Every structure is written in C-alpha cells, then in structure tokens.
C-alpha cells in the first residue's frame, strides 16, 4: 500500500559538476529560487541556474546551466551555505569561519569596517526563518561556537555581522535550529529548547549524539522535527510538547525534510516518505549514496556526493485521485483535509467537496451506505448525480448533466450491481431514504422537481407506503413524467392525488371512478368510493360536483348524499344553493329525503318550502306504506313517527295543505289532530283524539306540547277544553256506549288527578257532575287544597317579611336622623306656609314638617312621587 | 487512526505508561476499536483522539521499551491523567512503574490524576475471562474495593514480597494483588507530595482490566474521562491557554545567562 507522492528528478548531473574528477564531493547545497549553489570538499562554490522544463506530456524535468564557480582559497571543504537573498549574500561556513560572499559574483564581501565580515570558531549555524527583528535587510542567525557550550545569535547585514546575544548551554551543542526566540538544540546527550530571550529552557529527551548525527529541523512555526532514539522522527513544539505522533524511520537517517503533509527522510539506501497526518509510511524510493536532503522554499532537494536531484511532489489532486482510484477513501480524505492549510480556502473547499463526493460514490459502490450518505451530505453532492445513476428516474425535462470529470466510474445502477438484483434493491432502498431526508433541505434547492419525481417513481416501483404521504403533502413531482410511471405500477389512486395536487380534479375523479367501477385495478385505498364522496364534498368547483354527484348517488344514495349534506362550511368551499340541489336531487328520492332532513332537522333552516316538502315526502312515504297490501308495521310505525315528529316540532310547513292531503285518510288521525293543533283548532284536534282515536294519553300529550311555548293561561284553557271534551254529554249516546260508559269520565278523572296543577279548581268543581264521589277526585282535590293553602301561606309570609323589612328600615332611618323635629305654633308648613295648630305633622324627606292634609293634597296631585313620601308621625 | 487527521485541537491529554508487553496498546485498541488484536511493539508512541461528548480527548500510547524511555517525559508534559499500566501476572511490571515510569510523570500537570491498571486480568481472574458488560464489571469492582479497604496495609517497601505467588495465594499465576497496587498508589501520592485525604481514593483509582476480553476497559476510560472533566472545563475556560509548562514562567528556576567572561 503506497502512494506515489514524489518523483525523483535529476537536476545536476555528475559531469556538469566535476567531470571526471573522482575525488570531488558535494558537501552542501543551497537553493534560492532558480539559483542552486553547491559547496564542495575542495573549497569551491558552484553556481547553477536551475530551470524547470515541463514536457508536452506534463513531465517535469530540470535543466541546469552552470554560471560560475569560485575557489574560496581555504583548502577546506565548504561545510554550509545559506542564501540571504534580500542582501544578495551567501553565508558560507568553511574551515570554522562564517563569512559572506556576493550571490552573483561569489566574491568575498569586505567588511564595512574593513577586514571582512567574519565569525570565527563556528561549528554550525542556522538561519532564523521566523525572525524577531523586523528589518528585512537583516538575517538572524544562530551559531554554535566551538567555544565551549555556547550558542550565539548574530544579525547579518549586507556587509557586516553583529553579535546580539550569547547563551550558554548545559552541554556542548552539536546542531541548532531557531524559530523566533526559541533555539532547538541537539546537545551531546539530549535535545532541548532554549529561549534565548528569557534564558528559559526545556529539556526534550535524551539522545546520544555520538551514536548518530542528530537532526534538528524546523518544520513550522515553533515546531521542530528531531531524530530520536530507535529511529524515530519526533515532533516537538517550543513548549516541549509533542503534538503529533512520531514517524518511524530507520536507524540511520542522515537527513530529513518536510514537504507538507509529508516527512521525507534519507538514509543510506532509501528515501522514505511518511505522512504527518497518519504517521504511515507512504512511499519508499531507492537512493544509494544519499548525502544531503534539504528543503528550500518548499522544494525538496537531495544530493549524493556527485549529483543533485529534486524530489518533485506530485500534485495533491493527483495523489488523492490515485488513492481514490485504489478505493483508499480514508487516506484520500485524510490527505485532502491535511492539505487544507496549503491550499487557498476557496480552492480547498471545491476540492474537498469533490473528494468527499467521490469518496461517497466509492462507498456507495461498496454498498457502505451509511458512510456514503455522510460523505454526500458533507460534500454537498448535487443529489441528481446520485439519481442519474438510476435509469429513468430523472424526469425527461431535467436539465441535469453529470459533472465532468465524472465523480465515479459507474455507468448506471445495473453496471454497478453487475446484474445482482439484490444489490439493485438495496441501492434503491438507500436512495429512497436519502431522498426522503434531503428533499426538505437546501440540498434539494433548485432541483426539487427532479428529487420529488425520482422519489415518486421509487415509491411507486417499490410499493412504498410513503407514496401517498408524498403526494398528499407539498411536493414538486412533475405530472408529465409521473403519469406513465404511476400508470405502469397501477397506482391510480396516487395518480389521482397527483392530478388533484396539480389542480386537475376532473382527471383525478374520472380516474378514481374508473377504479371504483372496476375498469382499473388499484387496491391502494379500500374505501375509495367514500373517498370520492368526501372529495366531492369538499370540492370547491360546483360544476365538478354536479357532474359527478349523479354517479355517486346512483352508486349509493345514502352515502352519495353526503356530497350535499356534509359540505364543510368554510370560505374555501362555495356554498351550494339548496334549491338547486333539491331540484338536482329530484330523481334520487332517497337522497332528496336525506338532504331535506339535513336541511330541516340538522341545519334547522327556517324555510317553509323545505319543511312542507319534507313533510309531504314523509306523508307520501307513510301513504305508500299504508297502501301496501300486507302493511309492514315496523316501517310504517317508524315512518309515522318521523312524520308526527316533524309535524309537531316544526311550525313552518303549510298545515292546511298537508291536512288537505290526508283529509280522507282515516288511518292518520293522530297526524290530523296534530295539524289541527298547529292551526289552533284545538277543539277539532281534541275531538279527533278523544272521540275518534280514543287515545287519551295522546290527547294529554297534545295539550302538553301544544301549550309548551305558551303562557299558563293558554295551557289552562287547553286543559279545560280537554276536560270539557271528556265531560261533554251532548254527544250521541252511541259514542258513550261505545266508550264503555264511564271511560271518558275515567279519563277526565285521570286527567284531573295527573295534571291538577294546571286547572282552576273552582271552575273544575263547577263543571264536574254532581254524582262524582269525593274519593274519586281525592288526589286532585287534595292537591288543589294544598296548593291553595300553600299559596295563601306563602302570601302571608311575604306580607310578614315585607312588614318586618319596613319596620327595620324605619328603625334604621330614625337611628340615622336622631335629631328631633320641632313643631311649634310659630313654624310654618313648607307646603302651605301656614302655621301648625295641631301636633300631627308629616315629615318630608329631609325632615321638614308639613301638614298632613298638605301632603295628601300633594300626593293626589303628583302620583309619581308617591314613593318619596314616607309618612311618620311625631309629636 | 484516521481521527488524527482532523487535527482537532485536543482539550485534554491522557497518557498510557508502563513496561513493555503489559498491554497498553491493546487496552487502547480494545477501547477504541472494540476488539483485541495482535499488536506489534509500539515504536515511539501513538496518538488517538477520542471524541467524548463535546470534548476531544487525546490519548497517547507510549512505547514501553527501554529504548524509547527518554521520550516518556515529553508525552507526559501537560497530561491531565496518567494511566500507569502493569501486568497482574508479572510482579516486575509493577515494580518498573515505580522505578522507571514514575519519574516521567514529573512533567505532567500539577493536578494530574494517576490510575493504576493491572491488565491481563483474564489470566488470573475467572470473572475477567468472560466479556462482561461494563455495568456489571463496575459493580464487581466496587464491591471488591470496599472489601479491600479494610485489609489495606500501606507498605513502604518497594521490593516484592519474597514469594508473591504464595502470598496472594488466590489464583495461580497472579503475582500482583490489588492490595499491592493500592499500596503503590499511596506511594505515588507521597512521591507527588499529595495529601492522601485530599486526593482521589486508591480503591477508585486502581483497576484490573483485560484488554483481551474487554473486562473493565470501558469502565476504566470512562471513569477517567469523568475525572478529567474539571481539567477540560478549565482549559476551555482559559480559552486555549496552553496546559503545558510555560517557559516564560520558570525563568527563576533555571540558570540565568552567565555574565560575560
């Protein structure tokens, strides 16, 4: 498992440098822009111009052109070279001396003070890439002096160097790196961090510098990479904390460089490349006689003793794509996310999204739906990319085209599943759940139609319960695309809903009617007929209602009539004119009856026409039942009850008209009596009830209901009328005889005993025949006497209470007024202004005494003020 | 460990320390991946980021080999909790904790908590041989803890008993009893100069686990997460303030710059 992260490209070939001189070795290199400098063991500096050449195939090569070489004249190897490009100087360490040479001419720079800018006794130095001094024309440098246990900080100017600080170390340092004020030092037995400004130090970990050359490499702000025992590359920050896990090098690492996110290390025979993100070894390149490995401004250069190479990083995207191509999703994502800081934000976001989407598709292809979904979500995948994998799901009208270059390698779902139907099914189920989740989020913005239509198709195909929910709620399903699909899967009910959602109620109804009639098969909804009735019921288009009501009524009038009776009362639904409805319902008698009942009994519409119509219908029903040969008693009695109830309850129908209709019918005496009652022909009514029907309880009931909304006098009158009818002796004897003699008398007695309270007892006693026994009327008389007694006593109590209240008030008044009223012969009456001659006076409110006769006069004159005078006598 | 890549800033740091082959990596694996797998000897150290509720907890797995010993103090720097791991079937592994590893924790936070974990309990304890759900395991542990407190004798003697097997006497192969671990815990507190009364009690901080069966493992980590919560809260409150030793602050302790000549 490896990644191709770098490519080794030769930069300066052996012959270009030293030709056939076998003993010349490269000691150090420096690269600054296109300028490559090399120090050799024979004290030469070579200057090359390094040009990048990209071939037509995109392959990068380098062409090196030698500009100059210069002998430094010290006969010692050049140990280190550092460019200070702002100063146009090379800082050279050779023979323990640091000095400056011109970058172009390679001439030694004479010091401003004369004698050359030199530092003597140096074993190693480093340049501060995070300088604390703000001067751009000044380079900060940490120097390990051969003087025991000292690190010096210098400022390097164009033509001079200046010592700014010297710090001692607990042991002799052998390698140094500096960032800001922090020196990272390899001492003889350990690494440490030393703040040269404050002198504070932090031990890192022990290390034996005699075993192996230490590596101290600044890799970023306040972070260093160190060679640790056991062949580890340890990370340490300025606080002495390791924030990344170490990378596992070989024991013999010579040099290390960082090219984010990779750590490149060189040992005797290999270049190893580890990722700093997961510490894994990513690539190994064989490289013999490696000598130097350094990174310069992001460019990793390595050198053997004879030649120079550049490690060219492959473009990140290519690396990521390679990882994805081998389905290494996690690694690809780690690499992408790790690269965040190296790529401009907007570019990174685009890249990251794309990688997430690709990763999602790879996982999708492996049926790892949970992970795929997460990546689609975070990658903000255009959901149509996914839908387009499924043949025919996207609407024909969709403008979508797959993204280019493609996000995945699949032509479509069949290609992905390789004919495995179970896989296809799982993918479909995934898409159902995914679309269901995203359709209401912003992911679906701009393609709601595509999403909803695809979802509809999947639901229909998979026979999914949510199909109806989708259609019943807010949706953007495209009608043209969905119709054939729903028809294909016999989802006619759903299709009707879709028609309805698209305001094509007529089409919806026609479709549903065909299903109910059995022309089409769809068992989605069991009570579809009732549903249609409900639908018509709340349908706002009257034409549609008129058009389809016939069908519904023909199918089942009792339910069909709900279209008219159950219409909700609201602003959205236009009211159907009842008269129109009645006319319309003319041919559906049962429905008409139900509708009229609805109008009259439920909605209590006070319209004579409806009431009469309903009464007539009831009557007709009763008559038709009566005319049947063996009368169906049960139905008949029920029909009559209804008729009677209506006749009793309603006051609006035309009683005379109805009476005319049943005039000849001897079987409907009760109804006729009721109608007479309605016409206030109480005598006739009672006559029928008592003499024809001999139904005394009905007669009593008649008296009760006929007077129920009237005053007690009317009630009394009615009951007296009944009593008279009972006691009427003027009737032919045959009826008396037929009644079995005393039957009417018994009814009269019962009536009196039962409803005694409404009668005027005195009048009753006068009416009763002499011969009746007291015993017979005992309950009535007892009650009458008791009631009379009760009334008398109640009245007495009321009088007593009123008197006592009056007395109480008088007492209170006196108490309030207390002061006496003086009456003398000298005082005048307020009304007549004559003096008083007698002690009897009347006091007006306010206590003014007046003559009694004056008050009497005044009361006579103004009766309204009667209440004001509260007479009282005082002496 | 893909989590590392996200490079979230960890809120708190836990470190696993202990002799080689006691099962530090296995413990971490068992906790993070819910399985026991063969591991190779850890090189240097490894790092795992655990999302625990809203917090990121970094757990450092260190190498037990002597070779990497020097790195330990770096890993411990700024740690809020140190898990000192030993092998219940190996007396030496407990002794090593005191001899070699305790000093590494000098760089940890001043309020760092210490847990003593005897791993490989499945070798000696029949209860640990079955993978138990953590609740049950925790109950067991608590029961034992209470039992032990009465018999606990703090030994100042760092050397092992002459014949540890016969002394513990319960199970063959068991070389370290919970009492030994608790005694060591007491010595750790003393080494740290902590009052026993104000510190967490030994029975709460000594665990026996089995990475192989999962016995008590979740329990261990979750108990520690709960205990470091105050540390996390303080770190977040101090708003990214580094939990590590501030170099600026220890100026006085270090040798100043020597005078010229």
Report the distance separating Cα B183 and Cα B99, nearest Å.
Answer: 15
Q: How confident is the model at residue A112 (pLDDT cuts 50, 70, 90)?
A: low
In a domain, B254, yes or no: no
In a domain, A739, yes or no: yes
Tell me how close the Cα of B57 comes to any Cα of chain A, in angstroms: 13
Tell me how close the Cα of A228 comes to any Cα of chain B, in angstroms: 8
Query: Which chain B residues are within 8 Å of A168, Cβ to Cβ?
Result: 257-258
- CATH number of domain containing B76: 3.40.50.300
Report the distance separating Cα A371 and Cα A359, nearest Å.
Answer: 9
Whether A160 contacts A112, CB under 8 Å: yes
Query: Which chain B residues are within 8 Å of A330, Cβ to Cβ?
Result: 2
Please check whether residues A19 and A157 belong to one and the same domain: yes
Tell me which chain B residue has its CA closest to the CA of residue A277. B5
Tokens 């039962």 belong to residue:
A754
Tell me which chain A residue has its CA closest to the CA of residue B60. A245
- Mean pLDDT in chain A? 83
Query: Which chain B residues are within 8 Å of A236, Cβ to Cβ?
Result: 74
Please check whether residues A641 and A722 belong to one and the same domain: no
The two structure tokens encoding residue A842: 């009347």
- Picking from A679, A714, A733, the residue at the C-terminal end of a domain is A679
Report the distance separating Cα B91 and Cα B180, nearest Å.
Answer: 10
Q: What is the pLDDT of residues A265-302, one digit of tens each?
A: 999 889 999 988 888 888 999 998 888 999 988 889 99
CA A716 → CA A194, A269, A780, distances in Å?
A: 121, 131, 15
A-B contacts at Cβ under 8 angstroms: 112
Query: Which chain B residues are within 8 Å of A201, Cβ to Cβ?
Result: 247, 254
Residue A200 above 80 pLDDT?
yes
B233 close contact with A: CB closer than 8 A: no
The two structure tokens encoding residue A187: 């001492």
CA A569 → CA A115, A559, A565, A566, A575, distances in Å?
A: 109, 19, 11, 9, 8
Tell me how close the Cα of B127 comes to any Cα of chain A, in angstroms: 35
Give the mean model confidence (pLDDT) for residues A538-563: 81
- Picking from A290, A314, A338, the residue at the C-terminal end of a domain is A314
Which of A200, A224, A260 should we substitute to test contact with B (largest number of B Cβ atoms within 10 Å)? A200
* Angle at CA of residue A227, ends A222 and A229, nearest 5°: 130
Q: How confident is the model at residue B139 (pLDDT cuts 50, 70, 90)?
A: very low
Closest CA relative to residue A203, chosen from B103, B80, B58, B242: B103
**Of B6, B73, B251, Cβ closest to residue A198:** B251
Looking at per-residue pLDDT, the higher value among B40 and A741 belongs to B40
Instruction: Count the Cβ atoms, other than its own, within 10 Å of residue A619.
Output: 21
What secondary structure letter does DSSP report for A108?
B
The two structure tokens encoding residue B44: 């240097």
Report the distance separating Cα A17 and Cα A33, nearest Å.
Answer: 19
Question: Which pLDDT value is given to residue A21?
Answer: 74
In a domain, A692, yes or no: no
B103 close contact with A: CB closer than 8 A: no
Q: What's the structural domain count of chain B?
A: 1
What secondary structure letter does DSSP report for B215?
B
Of chain A, the percentage scoring pLDDT greater than 90 comes to 15
Question: Which pLDDT value is given to residue A158?
Answer: 85
Residue A376 above 60 pLDDT?
yes
* Angle at CA of residue A573, ends A568 and A578, nearest 5°: 75
Query: Which chain A residues are within 8 Å of B78, Cβ to Cβ?
Result: 239, 241
Please check whether residues A183 and A205 belong to one and the same domain: yes
Looking at per-residue pLDDT, the higher value among A41 and B159 belongs to A41
Given strand B206-208, what is the order of strands in its sheet?
B45-52, B55-62, B12-18, B81-87, B113-119, B206-208
Of chain A, the percentage scoring pLDDT greater than 70 comes to 94
Report the distance separating Cα B79 and Cα A801, nearest Å.
Answer: 97
Please check whether residues A652 and A794 belong to one and the same domain: no
Please check whether residues A651 and A794 belong to one and the same domain: no
- Picking from A314, A347, A363, the residue at the C-terminal end of a domain is A314
- CATH number of domain containing A872: 3.30.40
pTM: 0.61
Instruction: Count the Cβ atoms, other than its own, within 10 Å of residue A771.
Output: 6
In a domain, B73, yes or no: yes
In a domain, B253, yes or no: no
In a domain, A249, yes or no: yes
B54 close contact with A: CB closer than 8 A: no
Report the distance separating Cα A246 and Cα A232, nearest Å.
Answer: 6
Report the distance separating Cα A298 and Cα A292, nearest Å.
Answer: 16
Please check whether residues A813 and A824 belong to one and the same domain: no
Tell me how close the Cα of A87 comes to any Cα of chain B, in angstroms: 31
Rg of chain B taking only CA atoms, in angstroms: 19
Looking at per-residue pLDDT, the higher value among A706 and B226 belongs to B226
B71 close contact with A: CB closer than 8 A: yes
A248 close contact with B: CB closer than 8 A: yes
**Bridge partners of residue A769, in order along the sequence:** none
B46 close contact with A: CB closer than 8 A: yes
In a domain, B224, yes or no: yes
Question: Which pLDDT value is given to residue B256?
Answer: 43
Report the distance separating Cα B243 and Cα A243, nearest Å.
Answer: 13
Report the distance separating Cα B97 and Cα B160, nearest Å.
Answer: 13
Tell me which chain A residue has its CA closest to the CA of residue B256. A199
Q: What is the pLDDT of residues B164-222, one digit of tens each?
A: 444 444 556 788 888 999 999 999 998 888 888 888 888 889 999 999 898 999 999 99
For A137, residues 6+ apart whose C-beta sits below 8 A from its C-beta are A86, A87, A157, A158
Q: What is the pLDDT of residues A148-185, one digit of tens each?
A: 789 999 999 888 888 899 999 998 999 999 999 999 99
In a domain, B146, yes or no: yes
Please answer yes or no on whether A241 and B244 come within 8 Å at the CB atom: yes
Residue A488 above 50 pLDDT?
yes
Residue A448 above 70 pLDDT?
yes
CA B153 → CA B40, B148, B183, B186, distances in Å?
A: 38, 10, 7, 10
Rg of chain A taking only CA atoms, in angstroms: 59
Looking at per-residue pLDDT, the higher value among B100 and A757 belongs to B100
Question: Which pLDDT value is given to residue A732?
Answer: 53
Please answer yes or no on whether A200 and B250 come within 8 Å at the CB atom: yes
In a domain, B20, yes or no: yes
Question: Which pLDDT value is given to residue B163?
Answer: 44
CA B189 → CA A27, A206, A511, B88, distances in Å?
A: 54, 27, 84, 21
Whether A5 contacts A262, CB under 8 Å: yes
In a domain, A123, yes or no: yes
Q: Tell me the three state secondary structure of residue B6.
A: helix
Tell me how close the Cα of B7 comes to any Cα of chain A, in angstroms: 8
Please check whether residues A25 and A148 belong to one and the same domain: yes
CA A722 → CA A273, A688, A716, B21, distances in Å?
A: 121, 11, 10, 117
Report the distance separating Cα A734 and Cα A632, nearest Å.
Answer: 33
In a domain, A34, yes or no: yes
Looking at per-residue pLDDT, the higher value among A527 and A198 belongs to A198
Looking at per-residue pLDDT, the higher value among B225 and A733 belongs to B225
Report the distance separating Cα A687 and Cα A694, nearest Å.
Answer: 9
Question: Which pLDDT value is given to residue B156?
Answer: 42
- CA A224 to the chain's CA centroid: 49
**Of A198, A232, A241, Cβ closest to residue B43:** A232
In a domain, B9, yes or no: yes
- CATH number of domain containing A230: 2.130.10.10
In a domain, B131, yes or no: yes
- Helix, strand, coil percentages in chain A from 3-state DSSP, rounded to 5: 45, 20, 35
Tell me how close the Cα of A284 comes to any Cα of chain B, in angstroms: 19
Surface-to-core class of residue A400, CB atoms within 10 Å of its CB (0-12 exposed, 13-18 middle, 19+ buried): middle
Q: What's the structural domain count of chain A?
A: 5
DSSP per residue over B86-133, as a string?
A: EETT-HHHHHHIIIIIGGGGGGS-TT-EEEEEEE-GGGT-HHHHS---
Give the mean model confidence (pLDDT) for residues B59-69: 85
Question: Which pLDDT value is given to residue A479?
Answer: 85
Q: At what angle do helices A712-727 and A696-706 cross, to 10 degrees?
A: 160
Residues 188-207 of A with CB under 8 A from B: 190, 193, 195, 198-207
Name the helix (H) or strand (E) containing A174. Answer: strand A173-179
Residue B2 above 70 pLDDT?
no
Tell me how close the Cα of B42 comes to any Cα of chain A, in angstroms: 10
Report the distance separating Cα A804 and Cα B134, nearest Å.
Answer: 89
Give the mean model confidence (pLDDT) for residues A660-687: 77
Please check whether residues A250 and A203 belong to one and the same domain: yes
Please check whether residues A655 and A746 belong to one and the same domain: no
Please check whether residues A622 and A656 belong to one and the same domain: yes
Report the distance separating Cα B116 and Cα B12, nearest Å.
Answer: 19
Please answer yes or no on whether B74 and A195 come within 8 Å at the CB atom: no
A163-177, A434-448, A616-630, B118-132 — most confident range = A163-177
Please check whether residues A805 and A844 belong to one and the same domain: no
Please check whether residues A26 and A164 belong to one and the same domain: yes
Domain that holds residue A714: 702-818
Give the mean model confidence (pLDDT) for residues A560-565: 78
Domain that holds residue B125: 2-237
What secondary structure letter does DSSP report for A110?
P
């Amino acid at each position: 498992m490896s990644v191709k992260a770098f490519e080794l490209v030769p930069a300066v070939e052996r012959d270009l440098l030293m030709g056939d001189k076998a003993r010349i070795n490269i000691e150090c290199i420096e690269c600054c822009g296109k300028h490559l400098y090399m120090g050799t063991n024979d004290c030469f500096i070579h200057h090359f111009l390094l040009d990048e050449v990209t071939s037509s195939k995109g392959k990068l090569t380098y062409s090196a052109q030698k500009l100059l070489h210069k002998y430094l004249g010290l006969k010692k190897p050049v140990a280190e070279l550092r460019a200070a490009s702002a100063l146009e100087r090379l800082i050279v360490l050779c023979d323990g001396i640091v000095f400056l040479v011109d970058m172009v001419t390679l001439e030694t720079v004479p010091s401003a003070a004369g004698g050359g800018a030199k530092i003597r006794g140096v074993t190693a130095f480093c340049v501060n890439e995070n300088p604390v001094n703000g001067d751009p024309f000044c380079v900060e440098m940490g120097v390990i002096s051969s003087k025991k246990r000292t690190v010096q900080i210098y400022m390097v100017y164009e033509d001079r160097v200046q010592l700014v600080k010297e710090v001692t170390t607990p042991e002799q340092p052998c390698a140094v790196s500096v960032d800001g004020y922090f020196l990272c030092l390899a001492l003889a037995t350990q690494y440490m961090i030393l703040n040269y400004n404050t002198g504070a130090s932090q031990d890192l970990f022990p290390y034996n510098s005699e075993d192996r050359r230490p590596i101290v490499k600044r890799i970023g702000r306040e972070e260093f990479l160190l060679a640790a025992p056991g062949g580890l590359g340890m990370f340490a920050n300025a606080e002495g904390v390791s924030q990344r896990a170490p990378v596992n090098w070989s024991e013999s690492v010579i040099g290390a460089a960082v090219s984010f996110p990779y750590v490149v290390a060189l040992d005797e025979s290999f270049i190893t490349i580890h990722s700093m993100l997961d510490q894994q070894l990513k690539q190994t390149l064989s490289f013999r006689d490696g000598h130097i490995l350094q990174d310069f401004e992001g460019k990793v250069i390595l050198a053997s003793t004879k030649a120079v190479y550049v490690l060219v990083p492959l473009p990140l995207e290519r690396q990521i794509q390679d990882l994805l191509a081998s389905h290494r999703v996690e690694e690809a994502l780690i690499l992408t996310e790790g690269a965040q800081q190296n790529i401009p934000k907007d570019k990174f976001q685009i890249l990251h999204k794309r990688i997430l989407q690709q990763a999602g598709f790879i996982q999708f292809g492996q049926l790892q739906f949970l992970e795929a979904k997460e990546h689609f979500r975070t990658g903000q995948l255009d959901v149509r990319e996914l839908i387009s994998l499924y043949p025919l799901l996207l609407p024909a009208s969709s403008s979508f085209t797959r993204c280019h270059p493609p996000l995945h390698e699949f032509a479509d779902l069949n290609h992905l599943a390789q004919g495995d139907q179970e896989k296809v099914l799982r993918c479909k189920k995934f898409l159902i759940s995914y679309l269901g989740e995203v359709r209401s989020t912003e992911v679906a913005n701009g393609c709601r139609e595509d999403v909803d239509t695809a979802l509809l198709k999947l639901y229909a195909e998979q026979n999914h319960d949510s199909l109806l929910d989708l259609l019943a709620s807010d949706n953007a399903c495209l009608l043209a695309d969905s119709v054939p699909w729903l028809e294909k899967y016999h989802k006619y009910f759903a299709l009707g809903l879709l028609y309805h959602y698209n305001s094509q109620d007529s089409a919806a109804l026609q479709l549903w009617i065909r299903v109910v009639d059995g022309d089409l098969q769809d068992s989605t909804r069991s009570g579809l007929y009732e549903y249609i009735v409900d639908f018509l019921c709340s349908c706002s288009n009257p034409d549609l209602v008129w058009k389809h009501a016939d069908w519904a009524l023909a199918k089942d009038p009792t339910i069909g009539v709900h279209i008219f009776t159950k219409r909700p009362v609201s602003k959205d639904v236009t009211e159907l004119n009842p008269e129109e409805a009645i006319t319309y319902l003319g041919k559906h008698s049962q429905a008409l009856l139900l509708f009229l009942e609805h109008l009259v009994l439920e909605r209590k519409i006070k319209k004579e026409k409806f009431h009469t119509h309903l009464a007539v219908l009831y009557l007709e029903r009763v008559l038709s039942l009566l005319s049947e040969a063996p009368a169906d008693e049960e139905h008949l009695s029920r029909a009559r009850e209804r008729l009677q109830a209506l006749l009793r309850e309603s006051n609006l129908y035309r009683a005379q008209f109805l009476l005319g209709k049943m005039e000849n019918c001897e079987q409907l005496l009760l109804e006729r009596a009721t109608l007479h009652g309605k016409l206030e022909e109480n005598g006739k009514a009672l006559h029928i009830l008592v003499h024809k029907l001999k139904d005394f309880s009905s007669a009593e009931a008649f008296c009760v209901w006929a007077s129920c909304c009237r005053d007690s006098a009317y009630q009394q009158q009615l009951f007296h009328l009944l009593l008279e009818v009972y006691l009427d002796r003027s009737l032919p004897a045959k009826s008396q005889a037929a009644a079995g003699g005393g039957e009417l008398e018994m009814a009269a007695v019962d009536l009196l005993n039962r409803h005694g309270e409404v009668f005027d007892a005195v009048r009753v006693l006068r009416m009763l025949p002499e011969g009746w026994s007291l015993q017979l009327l005992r309950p009535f008389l007892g009650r009458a006497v008791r009631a009379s007694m009760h009334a008398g006593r109640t009245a007495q109590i009321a009088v007593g209470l009123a008197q006592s209240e009056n007395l109480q008030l008088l007492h209170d008044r006196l108490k309030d007024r207390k002061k006496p009223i003086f009456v003398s012969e000298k005082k005048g009456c307020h009304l007549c202004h004559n003096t008083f001659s007698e002690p009897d006076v009347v006091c007006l409110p306010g206590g003014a005494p007046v003559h009694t006769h004056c008050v009497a006069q005044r009361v006579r004159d103004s009766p309204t003020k009667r209440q004001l005078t509260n007479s009282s006598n005082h002496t | 460990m893909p989590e590392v890549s996200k490079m979230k800033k960890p809120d708190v740091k836990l470190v696993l320390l202990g002799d080689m082959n006691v099962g530090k990596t296995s413990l971490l694996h068992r906790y993070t991946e819910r399985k026991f797998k063969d591991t190779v000897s850890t090189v240097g150290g490894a790092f795992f980021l655990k999302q625990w509720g809203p917090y990121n907890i970094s757990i450092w797995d260190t190498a037990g080999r002597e070779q990497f010993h020097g790195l330990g103090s770096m890993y411990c720097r700024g740690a809020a909790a140190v898990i000192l791991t030993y092998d219940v079937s190996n007396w030496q592994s407990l002794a090593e904790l005191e001899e070699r590893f305790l000093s590494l924790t000098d760089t940890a936070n001043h309020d760092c908590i210490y847990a003593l974990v005897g791993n490989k309990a499945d070798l000696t304890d029949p209860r640990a041989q079955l993978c138990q759900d953590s609740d049950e395991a925790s109950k067991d542990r608590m029961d034992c803890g209470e039992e032990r407190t009465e018999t606990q004798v703090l030994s100042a003697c760092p050397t092992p008993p002459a014949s540890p097997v016969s002394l513990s006497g319960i199970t063959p192969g068991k070389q370290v009893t919970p009492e030994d671990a608790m005694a060591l815990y007491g010595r750790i507190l003393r080494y740290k100069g902590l009052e026993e009364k104000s510190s967490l009690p030994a029975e709460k901080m000594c665990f026996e686990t089995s990475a192989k069966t999962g016995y008590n493992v979740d329990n261990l980590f979750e108990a520690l997460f709960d205990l470091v919560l105050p540390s996390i809260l303080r770190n977040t409150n101090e708003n990214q303030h580094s939990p590590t030793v501030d170099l600026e602050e220890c100026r006085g302790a270090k040798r100043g710059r020597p005078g010229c000549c």
